[in-house]
């Protein structure tokens, strides 16, 4: 049996199924409520009951008797047998989210191509990270240094955090990650961070352009778009050096088969003879400009190497794009990784 939940002050309504938490029902219907742990521990999801009653399978740690008497509830685990009216401030795609430091452990490492892995991490104590599609986290290393990586899965898939990480031979962190870090290793992260995230309320056609592992945050955006039912055209462009650097193309083709408003253009800057590549070649931002010479109608999201992003901003501006409609995340390497890259380029 379904029950109706009305959220004040927004007036938004959604249905909750028997045995389903208020938060889970809201997320399923694209209503964004604040949360942290999703286990009744942190109190981030606290709101008020205006009409109706809720129940809990287990006594929430973060809800004492005084709070109950005051009409407060923890919506991440609260359930109901009847219609409800609640009071809690909803989030929108511009709402600042709490930046937190959390322990985590490595759940899996899977090779996506010859030098990129998908690292999946799970937060300790069943915590959850609330973030916008496109944002990133930082690993806090033992020496206090940090390494930043974009989150590659959509916010509603928050039981794991997926990161796409390229191996830099000689880079301290990626050498450790690729060569010796065992699964279940304990790490510390901080996030969510960054202003590169999908602006859902703008409802304009999108161009998503990535270079290398810049596909990661764009993947999160597309998964989120699929989840919320975004109804505008989305054009994905991916720039890599050669065919062996292109990854997850099968998954992208599956997306396209399900969504006729999504298109995909891979671009190779240096295809090898064995690639037998029939597609686009050159620099990815130039291919975007060739296919869409008038860019004023688009919101453009760019992620990847700084030279790609900088060149794209200059070219796209010349073709009508406003800087107010362009969003970018330039992937800067750490100093040791930059030194390793320079050393690897020497003859």
Q: Domains plus CATH for the chain?
A: 3-87 (3.10.20.30), 100-193 (2.40.30.10), 200-330 (3.40.50.80)
pLDDT at 5: 97
Q: What whole-number distance in Å separates Cα of residue 316 and Cα of residue 282?
A: 16
Q: How many CB atoms lie within 10 A of CB 57?
A: 11
Specify the pairing of strand 299-304 against strand 326-330: parallel
pLDDT at 149: 96
Q: What does the DSSP 8-state code read for residue 91?
A: P
Chunked in runs of 10, what are the mean pLDDT values of the chain (347 residues)? 94 95 89 81 88 93 90 95 94 76 95 97 90 94 91 92 94 89 90 90 93 98 93 97 98 96 98 97 98 96 94 95 91 62 56
Q: Please give the structure tokens belonging to residue 255.
A: 């997306």
Q: How many CB atoms lie within 10 A of CB 230?
A: 19
Task: Specify whether the CB–CB gap between 194 and 136 falls below 8 A.
Answer: yes
pLDDT at 344: 63
This prediction has a pTM of 0.80
Task: Give the number of C-alpha atoms closer than 13 A to the C-alpha of residue 20, restricted to the C-beta side.
Answer: 19
Helix, strand, or coil here: 321?
Answer: coil
Q: Please give the structure tokens belonging to residue 147.
A: 């390494």
Task: Specify whether the CB–CB gap between 88 and 47 falls below 8 A.
Answer: yes
pLDDT at 345: 59
């Amino acid at each position: 049996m379904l029950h109706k939940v009305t959220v004040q002050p927004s007036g938004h309504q959604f249905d909750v199924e028997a045995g389903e938490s208020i938060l889970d029902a809201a997320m399923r219907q694209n209503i964004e409520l604040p949360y942290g742990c999703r286990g009744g521990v942190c109190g981030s999801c606290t709101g008020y009951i205006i009409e109706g009653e809720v129940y809990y399978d287990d006594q929430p740690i973060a809800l004492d008797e005084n709070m109950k008497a005051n009409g407060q509830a923890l919506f991440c685990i609260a359930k109901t047998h009847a219609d409800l009216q609640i009071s809690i401030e909803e989030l929108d795609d511009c709402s600042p989210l709490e930046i937190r430091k959390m322990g985590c452990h490595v759940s899996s490492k899977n090779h996506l191509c010859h030098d990129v892995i998908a690292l999946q991490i799970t937060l300790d104590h069943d915590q959850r990270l609330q973030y916008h599609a496109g944002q990133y986290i930082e690993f806090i290393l033992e020496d206090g240094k940090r390494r930043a990586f974009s989150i590659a899965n959509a916010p509603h898939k928050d039981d794991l955090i997926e990161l796409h990480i390229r191996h830099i031979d000689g880079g301290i962190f990626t050498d450790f990650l690729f060569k010796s870090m065992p699964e279940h290793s304990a790490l510390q992260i901080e996030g969510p961070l960054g202003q590169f995230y999908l602006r859902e309320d703008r409802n304009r056609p999108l161009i998503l352009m990535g270079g290398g592992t810049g596909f990661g945050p764009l993947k999160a955006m597309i998964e989120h778009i699929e989840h919320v039912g975004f109804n505008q055209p989305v054009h994905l462009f991916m720039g890599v050096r050669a065919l062996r650097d292109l990854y997850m193309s099968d998954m992208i083709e599956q997306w396209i088969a399900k969504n006729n408003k999504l298109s995909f253009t891979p671009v190779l800057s240096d295809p090898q003879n064995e690639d037998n590549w029939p597609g686009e070649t050159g620099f990815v931002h130039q291919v975007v400009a060739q296919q869409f010479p008038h860019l004023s109608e688009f919101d453009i999201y760019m992620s990847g190497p700084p030279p790609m992003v900088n060149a794209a901003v200059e070219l796209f501006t010349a073709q009508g794009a406003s800087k107010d409609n362009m969003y970018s995340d330039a992937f800067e390497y750490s100093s040791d990784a930059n030194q390793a890259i320079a050393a690897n380029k020497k003859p």
